[in-house]
Structure formats: structure tokens, C-alpha cells
Amino acid sequence: MYNLGLINGKVYRNGQFTHLDVYVQDQIIAKIVPSGKILPCKKIVDCTNKLILPGFIDPHVHINLDLGEFKSSDDYESASKAAAFGGITTFIDFLEPISYVHEFDAMLKKKQKEAKASYIDYAFHTAVGNFNDDVDKLIKISRESGIPSVKMFTTYSESNRKITYTKFQEFLKNSCKTNTLILVHAENDEEILSANVEDTVESYESSRPAVSEIEEIEKIARIVAELKGTLYIVHVTCGSSIELLNDKYKELLGKNIFIESCPQYFHFTKDVYDNENGNLFLLAPPLRSIKEQEKLKENISVIDTIGTDHCPFTKEEKMRYKEASKIPKGLGSLEFSFSLMYHIFGNEIIDKFTLNPAKIHNLFPKKGIIQIGSDADFVIFDPKKVLFINSGHSQSDYNPYESMLTTGMVESTILRGEILVKNRKLVGSMRGQFIKRH
């Protein structure tokens, strides 16, 4: 007797849809058979005319991000609830950046405590800022704690978070030996420091211009071409950055270099910074020109993963200052990311939310695939239903996508065999687990 059966749906496997019935036992996918005869089962969900997709993975979220004067609006409870409504069953948050190895334990403990309120499964990336310690030691303890990834910044020298190129190279060299994923926020620091523009929202994009991303990506790709290792470039904003990688470093893509982008760069352009409420769209790196956005869309096949970089603040916090430098940077999009991207790209986007992040971030084959032995994480998706985007479940009091319409709606979300969201109502509990990655 199985615990749960999903019947009559079109199941996504190996890039195709097949009429299959999927059965779950003990939180794991136990049987997959052609639709037809129903096997003995405690609970049956009829998925006629629906797509059954693997639970989505968001490899880039910020929860409880503390910026001193500001703290991002979502805690684990609200973020994971919003995520569940969006079909996300696993997300990866960041430990606070550290400069020394001995700070690691405290950062991990802090996050683990916060994450107890999660409705969905979660993992972490280690993060470093102005790192001044032993790279091998840090990676060793991070990996022993189930975190085989480290994030660093090539910018933010003004807030003392920039990595030196010597240290960056040390991380890459270690990555060659240990397969640790090196996550990089790539913007050229000197370019940003030398940009002589007004500190306003209208000029914000010119203060961190497209060229600063493109140049920095070229610079670090050159280092990877020489040293190898595994690099993951977070939140790529410019189509030109991707074209450059594809033209000059094609042989490294999918092997030594992975590319992530985010829904906001596909849906908004820098023109919103001229609007009265431009503050609400401030994030780093900034939104780009329509030309860069079009190129980003043209190059979607080169992008490996879609992460949200979810980091919302409240309207009042965003509007508090006129100076761009004082406004907290970040947007929220966890709840609607898949529908927003499916609306533009259709089925091509599925692997970028499932198989690819699972493989790149060492969650595979536990997550990211519908096959026997994998976690029973599913999204029941109606590709024809129109979703009217509302305020959602984030604790921020505005949603940048509010009132948009998308074709394609997450109807139900299942985490390890238990229904978490059923027909757009939360029915599950906080049973999210820390996923140790190897």
C-alpha cells in the first residue's frame, strides 16, 4: 500500500512529458507506471490535464538579511510559505559573510536556528567578505557541515566585502581538488568606484553600469580558463556578459563556469528608475537597458539556473531616502518566479528550476528529478490557467510584479510525499529539513 499516488498527469522526465502514475512511499518516489490501473494507495490525487514537475529549487535567496539599519522583510516562515505557493520545495540561503574561519560555526548555528520555521527543505552557501584566513581550512569545515559552496564578491570594497584576486585564485585552486562550487557576485569594483554620477535613483544604473559586470566576468573567466575549478556566476544581468562567455569561453561553460540569472532582469528594465516609485526597484546589480534584456532572452539556452535573489524590503524602507546609496537593495520574487519565467519561455525553463540547480548545487539525485529513489517533491502545474499576480505571502507590503498576468499556474506543491499547498491553499506544516550537500 502506497502513501500517495499522483495519477493521470503528464509527468516531466528527461525533457519530455509522458502519461504516468507516480506512487510515493516513506517520502520517496517508489513506483512509476503508465497511467491506467490504480495501485493500492492511501491517498490519490487526480492530475488530469496537469503537468507533474519535480519540486523547484531556488539556489539563491536571502532570508533575515541584516543590513544594520534595515533587515529584509522575510523570515523563514514567510519566505518558505511564499516559496511553497510558487512550487519551490528547496531553497539555498547564505550564511552571513565571514572574514575568518573561526566565525563559521556561529554563522551556521544562527541560520539553523532561524530555519526551524521552514515549510520547505533548505540548504546554505558559506559566504566570505574580505576573507583573510586559510582557504583550505574554511572549505574543509564548510564541506563537513554539508555546504560544498562558498560565495564571494569582487565588489563592495567600501563595505569591506571584496575578495582579493589572490584569495579568489586560492579558492579556485581548492575547487579543482575538492569540487567546491565558487559563487561569485561579479561587478568590477574600480569601475564602480570611478563612476562619477549623482547619488540618485535615476542615475543608479550608471553608477554600476553594464560594462562593470561584463568586464569583471571576462576577468574572472580568464582566471578560470587558466586555473580551472568550478565557478558559478550569480545574478547575471546582461545578455552581453553571456554572449562574451559563449563566444570566448564556450569550452568552459557547463563544466567550469555556470550561469545564473533572475526573473527581475527579464521583466523590468532600468527605465523604471525614472518613475516616481523607482526606489522600489532598486537592487544590485541594477536593472539594465531593454537591449541587454533582449539579449538576455536570446541567450536563455546558455543560462543554467534561475535563482530569485529574493531579498524584499517594505515600501517605507525603500522610499525612506532619496540617495540611491542609502536605499536597501533587493526585490522579492520567490512566490512567482516560475510562473513569471514559464510565461516567457514555456517548457524550456523547467530544467533551470529543477535538474540543473540540483546537479550544480549537489542536490542530485535526491532533488530535481522524478525517478525512483528520489525525494517525493512535486509541483502540480496547470499550463493553461491564467495567474493574476497578487500581493502574495511575503511579509513585504509590496510585490513588484503585482497585477501582472501569467499563463501557467502552480496549483499544488508536495514536499517529501506530503501535500504542502493544495489548490492554492496552505495545508502542510513546517517540516522543512536541512539538506546536507556533498
Residues near Zn ion, by CB under 5 A: 309
Least distance to Zn ion from the beta carbon of 330, Å? 8
> Regarding beta strands 41-46 and 2-13, do their DSSP bridges make them parallel or antiparallel, or are they unpaired?
parallel
Cell of residue 95, nine digits: 550564511
> Distance (Å, rounded) from C-alpha 88 to C-alpha 381?
12
Nearer to Zn ion, 304 or 309 (CB): 309
Cell of residue 32, nine digits: 512509476
Nearer to Zn ion, 260 or 375 (CB): 260
> Distance (Å, rounded) from C-alpha 155 to C-alpha 435?
30
Nearer to Zn ion, 62 or 359 (CB): 62
> Distance (Å, rounded) from C-alpha 267 to C-alpha 438?
34
For Cα atoms 363, 367, 373, give the angle at the middle one, nearest 5 degrees.
Answer: 115
Nearer to Zn ion, 74 or 309 (CB): 309
Nearer to Zn ion, 21 or 335 (CB): 335
Tell which residue, 51, 42, 48, has the closest CA to residue 10.
Answer: 51
End-to-end CA distance of the chain: 33
For Cα atoms 291, 292, 294, give the angle at the middle one, nearest 5 degrees.
Answer: 65
Q: What residue number has its CB nearest to Zn ion?
A: 309
Least distance to Zn ion from the beta carbon of 167, Å? 20
Least distance to Zn ion from the beta carbon of 174, Å? 22
Nearer to Zn ion, 22 or 360 (CB): 360
Cell of residue 198, nine digits: 549623482
Phi, psi of 83 (to 5 degrees): -60, -45
Is there a contact between 280 and 228 (Cβ–Cβ < 8 Å)?
A: no
